[in-house]
Structures are given as structure tokens and as C-alpha cells.
Chain A
Amino acid sequence: MFESKSGVFFVAGLAFFGFAFLSNALVPAMMYRDLPEKTVEELVNPNLRYQFEDLAQRYPESFKKVYGTPPEETGARSEWYDTKIAEALRLGRKVYVGEACWHCHSQFVRPVSNEDLRWGPVSTSGEYQNELQRPVMFGTRRVGPDLCREGGRRSNDWHAVHFFKPTDLSEGSPMPQYPWFFDGSPDKPNDRGLAIITYIQWLGSWLESYPYYEDFVKSPVAEISLEGDAAE
């Protein structure tokens, strides 16, 4: 058994692998069975809607080119916006994954290392039960800041300029430039630009404490200034 083909094949190959899969993957899956998985459409919320309409006003030409013109009638208009937001979120996530944003920015706040002071409330399971976290974007490295409480912290045009050339806004940032999100200049975001900004503004927009900086509490360590953190 220990040195035979069948032993290695069945016990090590299948049984141990299966046992590990059971304990490491199926157990959490079963524990979260009761949390419904939200579709992208269900994720649209007023905070995000506000940001999206802000995009429409700030970049009317680009917006019109990508999404067309909203209907005049109020009810249809509202519905139209919600569908377009869902569309933008889907593409935004695709861009976020394709450009490897998640390899330098994490999306979870840990209960340790003063992270709740820096970013906001500690992450909970429910926040991740949705279509846009499939596969989940926890991330394993933070070259840049965590993003799961990023929505609403900064304005849309800040993001546009920052994506176009990060060093213009945060000197010393090692983040690469993404000029291909724009048609030549930061005031002309294309479909990918509008989508990624929508996606970033969505992160954390579901929280009651949104946007987090409004209940920003100063560090208990008096001599360290937090201004740099907010200004970057």
C-alpha cells in the first residue's frame, strides 16, 4: 500500500486531495450557503448611481459615445442608468483583473495592524457574496493602498487624472500610467476608463459609513500626521 501504485494513486492522489478539498473549500462554501449571491444588477445603489451620473455630467461627450443618451421620462431614465451601471461594473471588473490592479491593491481590511483605523470597517463575508467577486479579489500584495473602502473617497476627475498619469496627483507613486483608458487626454475617458472609475467608486459604496473619510478618526498616536494619507 505505501509503496504500491494503487496506494499512491488512491490514498495520496485522490483521498488526501479530496479530504483537503472538503476541509478547505467545501466547508466554507457550505457555511456561506445561506448568504445569497448577489447579481451585478442588485449591487447598484444610490451612492454609486450618484457617482455614475456625476460621470455623465463631467464627461458628457465621452459618456454619450459609450452609453448613448438616457431617455427623458423619469422612470425609464432611472432604469436606464441602473442597466448602464451594471454594464460598466462588469467591464470595470474585467479591466481591473486584466490590468492586474489586484496584484498591487488588495480588497480586504484585516482586524489587525491598525487597518481599521486606516481604511474603515473590517471586511465581512457578506460583502463578498456577489457576482463581481467571482473569483474573489482579496489580493495578496499591497504596493498601493487597499481599495475595498475606496468608493466616494475621491472624485471622478481625480481618478481620471490619476489613471492617466498617477505622478501628477501623487508624487512618488510607482503606479503605471494607463493612457489607454482615455482618448488622448484625461478629460476624454473611453469605455474602459468610465468602467474602471465606476468599478472603483462601487468599492465600499454599500457601507453605512460611506464614504469612509467622513467619520475619519485621528490616530491615537498624536505625533504622527495623517494628512499625507488623505492627501495622496
Chain B
Amino acid sequence: MADENSKTDESTPATLPTHEELVDERLVAWYFLAALAYLFISMSGGFLMAFQLIKHNPLNGIEIFSPGRWRMVHTNAIAYGFLANAFLGMLHWVIPRLTLRPVLDRRLSLFIFCAWQFVVVATAVGLLLGQAQGLEWGETPVWIDPVAQLGLLLVAINFMAPIMKQKGPMYVTLWYFVAAFIWTFLTYAMGNFVPEYFVSGSSAGAVGGLFIHDLVGLFVTPLGWGMMYYFVPILLKKPIWSHGLSLVGFWGLAFFYPLQGIHHFLYTPIPMFLQYGAIMSTIAVELVVLTVVINFFGTLWGDGRQFWDNLPIRWFYTGMVYYFLTCLQCSLQVTLTFQALIHFTDWVVGHAHLVMFGVFSMWLLGVMTYLFPRLLKQEWYSQTLCEWHYWLSAGGMLVMASDLILGGLFQGWSWAALQPWDASVEISQPFWAVRVVSGLAIFGGQLAFVYNLYKTWQLSRVRLS
């Protein structure tokens, strides 16, 4: 290990490869387009459930449009359709450029792209046909699980090849990515096979909790932060505030995050001392999150103007503020005092939306805002539409999250007061109505983005011909 720390810098190959040799731009664009398509599918699923809750579902009673089934499409399409695809596109850009080495094999990349689209489409179709697996965030029908597992293995191999050739200390982004490849593979295997075939009951609940948690924490979070550590310095044209502090953030996440799975099932028959352990590490990880957030705001310090002038930077830092809020919320809601009141309510739903859309989707949309002009070699058709995209997404998210969190409190109090069950549904109506409106705002924002993208693509075609 000592030679890896030697001063000689061998991380760059002798001759500098060109960008075209490194990055398969077409594939990046395809991944992003696939991601956007699933984003719309996911949002449609969300709307179906949201309209059902306010009792205005126009498609009630049609099997294939059952809101329950679409609710599972909603979460799975966002996790495996939008986030995974957008992350893969981003990885095809970032990893070759950071390591100055292309991925293992371009044909393999293409195969992975097709295989992954098959996995996601098959998942959606399977769910709509009522073949779900009884595991939250892992409802993928059991027969697809091995295929997805294989896909994740290939992804890891394809991207690990350039990283493994790196000599000397690696940049923080690469640590996060290396860890994410291993964790995603292990997490998926654990969550989809262990509770299905090996254990049942409370133990299966513990594994299920660990799976929900690790999927966010060990697949989405490391890829997301790794991405931020790459794009923020590049856009601000200055190095990250402290590379040493990022070490604390990384190892803190690696150690504390996986230990928290059981906090999703507090007050269940799972042994109490394990629940306490999960709560402790959840509060500990909040401190770790603080170091990461401080590091990024330290980087921004002195360039505050960029927050307003540089749209991708605004996406990123808004996401970070939401990340801090959602983690703060987490360290509060994980305590048994809060759990008694808010578990099972819309509070948790608000929290989940704030994490998955408010943080990670916003970051990815920011990356797309930055990369699409470079991929198409054409500036955005309309900056105004880009602004609309940002404000509708960020604003809609803020309204949705605060609305659901507040609604959750009312539901919790209604239940604890032993009011008739109908009362809790009735008091939720206004909150659910506001949720639909905020959802429509977010939807509108994405429509503006896609229209803008289409127009930009048209312009790029005109210029080429």
C-alpha cells in the first residue's frame, strides 16, 4: 500500500487521450433520454395514486390502471428507470474523464444499456400485471431479479476497469463510485433474495428495512455525492474546499449509514436493542452529513454570486440545502418520540419525496442542464425555459414536502386521539389536494425541460446540416 502513496504521479497516461476516445457521448445522451422517459412514467403513476386519494381518479376500476399497481411503478421507475439511467449516463461521462481511460469495452456498455432498459420495462410490465414481489423499493418480479443482478455486476466490471488502473491516491469522487458499485450489487442481492428465500417474519423485516435504507444510502447517495464532488469544482473552476474533510464524510457514511436499516421498522417485534443501535447511528450520520455540507459551502464561499448566475450550480446547491433539511428531519424523526406519532403517516412520504426528487433528481437534472449543451454542441434554445424548469421543480418540491410533512402530523394526532378512522382520511383531503397541485407544478417544469431539449436538438440538427 505504501507505494500507492509515493510522490510520483503516474495517474495520467503518457499521451493525453482525446475526449472522443474517452467518452461515448451518444450513449450518455441515450441514457439521459431513457431516464427522462421513465421520469414521466413515474410521475404518471404518482398522479394516478394522488388523484385516487382525492377521490377524483378518472380510471377507477380498470385493472391495468389500478392505482396500487401504478404506485409501485411510481417508485420503481424513479429508482431503476430515472435515477439508475441518469446515473449511468453521468458515469459514462465522469469516470473516463477523471481517470483518462475509457470504460472496459464499448460493446459491453451498449449491451448494458439495452439489458438495463429491458430490466426496467420488464419490471413495469410485471408490476402492471400484478406480479410484484412483497418488498418495498424491490417490487421487481422475482424472475427479473437475477437479470438485474447480472446487469449490476456488468456495470461494476465495466466501470471498475479504468478506476483500477489508476495509480496513487484517488480523487474523492472515485472512492464514492467504487464503493457504490460494490454496495449496489451487494444491497440488491441481499434485499431481493434473503427475505424471499432464506428468512421470514421479523428477521425478513429487518433485512427489508436494511434494503430500503441501503438502496438510498449505498446506491443513490454515494453516486450522488461523488457526482457533486466532480461537477461542483469544475463549474466553479476551483478545487473542493478540503479534500481531507471529504475523507471524513466518506468514511463516516461508509461506517454509519449501513447500520441504520432497522430504523424503518421501529416498535415492531424486532429486538429493541437493535432498534436503539439503528437510532444511534442515524443521529451520528447527521454529523457526518454536516461535514459534507460544510465542505461544499466552503467551496462556494466567495463565489456566492454563482448561485444565481450559474444554473447548474443553483440546482446542485438547492439540492444540498434540501439534503441537509431532509437529514435533519431524519435525525429527528428517527427518535422513538417522533416515531410514535409520525410512523405510517404522510410525514414519511414527504421525507421520501424530498430525498428522491428534491435532492438526487434535482442534482441529476442540474447535470443534464450542464451536459446536454455539451452533448449536442448547442446552447439551450431558451434560458427562460431552463429557469422555469428550475423554479417549478424546486418550488413544487418545497410545497409538496412541507405539505405532506404537515399533513402527516395531523394524521398522527388523529390516530393517537382514537378518532374514527374516516376522520384521518377526511383531514388529509386538503393536504392531498395541495400535493396534487405541487405535483402538477413539478410535472410542468419537466415538460418545459423536455420541450426545451427538443427545440435545442432541432437547432443542433439545423447547424449540422
Residues of A within 8 A of B (CB): 1-9, 11-14, 16-17, 19-21, 23-25, 27-29, 31-32, 35, 37, 93, 95, 97-104, 106, 108, 110-115, 117-118, 123-125, 127-131, 133-145, 165, 167, 170, 172-174, 176-180, 219, 221, 224-229, 232
Residue numbers in A under 8 Å from B259 (CB-CB): 19-20, 23-24
Nearest residue (CB) in B for A170 is B422
Residue numbers in A under 8 Å from B170 (CB-CB): 3-5, 8
Is the C-beta of B270 less than 8 angstroms from some C-beta in chain A? Answer: yes
Residue numbers in A under 8 Å from B164 (CB-CB): 5
State which of B88-96, B193-201, B377-385 sits at the interface with chain A.
B193-201
Of the residues A7, A103, A136, A165, contact of B201 by C-beta under 8 Å: A136
> Which of A117, A127, A142 has the most chain B CB within a 10 Å cutoff?
A142
The 3 closest A-B pairs by CB, nearest first: A228-B420, A20-B258, A128-B201
Given contacts A24-B261, A32-B201, A125-B202, 13 further A-B contacts (CB under 8 A): A7-B1, A13-B179, A13-B183, A24-B207, A24-B262, A97-B133, A99-B130, A108-B268, A108-B269, A125-B269, A129-B200, A135-B134, A228-B420
B255 near A32 (CB under 8 angstroms)? no
Task: List 21 A-B pairs, Cβ < 8 Å.
Answer: A3-B169, A17-B218, A21-B190, A24-B209, A24-B259, A25-B203, A25-B206, A25-B261, A98-B69, A111-B267, A118-B418, A124-B269, A134-B201, A135-B204, A142-B344, A144-B421, A174-B53, A176-B61, A176-B68, A225-B420, A229-B418
B169 near A17 (CB under 8 angstroms)? no
B34-68: which residues lie under 8 A (CB-CB) from chain A?
52-55, 57, 60-61, 63, 66-68
B255 near A138 (CB under 8 angstroms)? no
Residue numbers in B under 8 Å from A143 (CB-CB): 53, 425
Residue numbers in B under 8 Å from A176 (CB-CB): 52, 57, 60-61, 66-68
Of the residues A16, A24, A28, A117, contact of B254 by C-beta under 8 Å: A16
Residue numbers in B under 8 Å from A173 (CB-CB): 422, 425
Of the residues B183, B187, B267, B422, contact of A110 by C-beta under 8 Å: B267
CA distance A19 to B196 in the complex (A): 21
Nearest residue (CB) in A for B198 is A29
Residue numbers in B under 8 Å from A93 (CB-CB): 134
> A9-B182, A135-B196, A170-B422 in contact; A21/B71 too (CB < 8 A)?
no
> A17-B218, A103-B71 in contact; A140/B136 too (CB < 8 A)?
yes
Residue numbers in B under 8 Å from A179 (CB-CB): 61
B367-426: which residues lie under 8 A (CB-CB) from chain A?
412, 415-423, 425-426
Is the C-beta of B319 less than 8 angstroms from some C-beta in chain A? Answer: no
CA distance A100 to B264 in the complex (A): 18
Residue numbers in A under 8 Å from B307 (CB-CB): none
B296-346: which residues lie under 8 A (CB-CB) from chain A?
336, 339-341, 343-345
Residue numbers in B under 8 Å from A100 (CB-CB): 66, 68-69, 71-72, 132, 139
A101 near B68 (CB under 8 angstroms)? yes
CA distance A97 to B72 in the complex (A): 10
CA distance A11 to B186 in the complex (A): 14
B131 near A98 (CB under 8 angstroms)? yes
CA distance A32 to B203 in the complex (A): 7
CA distance A95 to B134 in the complex (A): 10
B412 near A113 (CB under 8 angstroms)? yes
B247 near A3 (CB under 8 angstroms)? yes
Is the C-beta of B178 less than 8 angstroms from some C-beta in chain A? Answer: yes
Residue numbers in A under 8 Å from B344 (CB-CB): 106, 139-142
> A9-B178, A128-B201, A135-B134 in contact; A229/B269 too (CB < 8 A)?
no
B63 near A134 (CB under 8 angstroms)? no
> Which of A125, A226, A232 has the most chain B CB within a 10 Å cutoff?
A125
State which of B232-240, B271-279, B356-364, B450-458 sits at the interface with chain A.
B271-279
Is the C-beta of B436 less than 8 angstroms from some C-beta in chain A? Answer: no
B195 near A135 (CB under 8 angstroms)? yes
Nearest residue (CB) in A for B426 is A172
CA distance A112 to B275 in the complex (A): 15
A224 near B203 (CB under 8 angstroms)? no
B254 near A23 (CB under 8 angstroms)? no
Residue numbers in B under 8 Å from A1 (CB-CB): 1
Residue numbers in B under 8 Å from A24 (CB-CB): 206-207, 209-210, 258-262, 274, 278
Nearest residue (CB) in B for A32 is B203
> A23-B274, A100-B68 in contact; A136/B204 too (CB < 8 A)?
yes
B195 near A99 (CB under 8 angstroms)? no
B418 near A221 (CB under 8 angstroms)? yes
CA distance A177 to B53 in the complex (A): 12
A130 near B201 (CB under 8 angstroms)? yes
B186 near A174 (CB under 8 angstroms)? no
A188 to chain B, nearest CB (A): 16
Is the C-beta of B349 less than 8 angstroms from some C-beta in chain A? Answer: yes
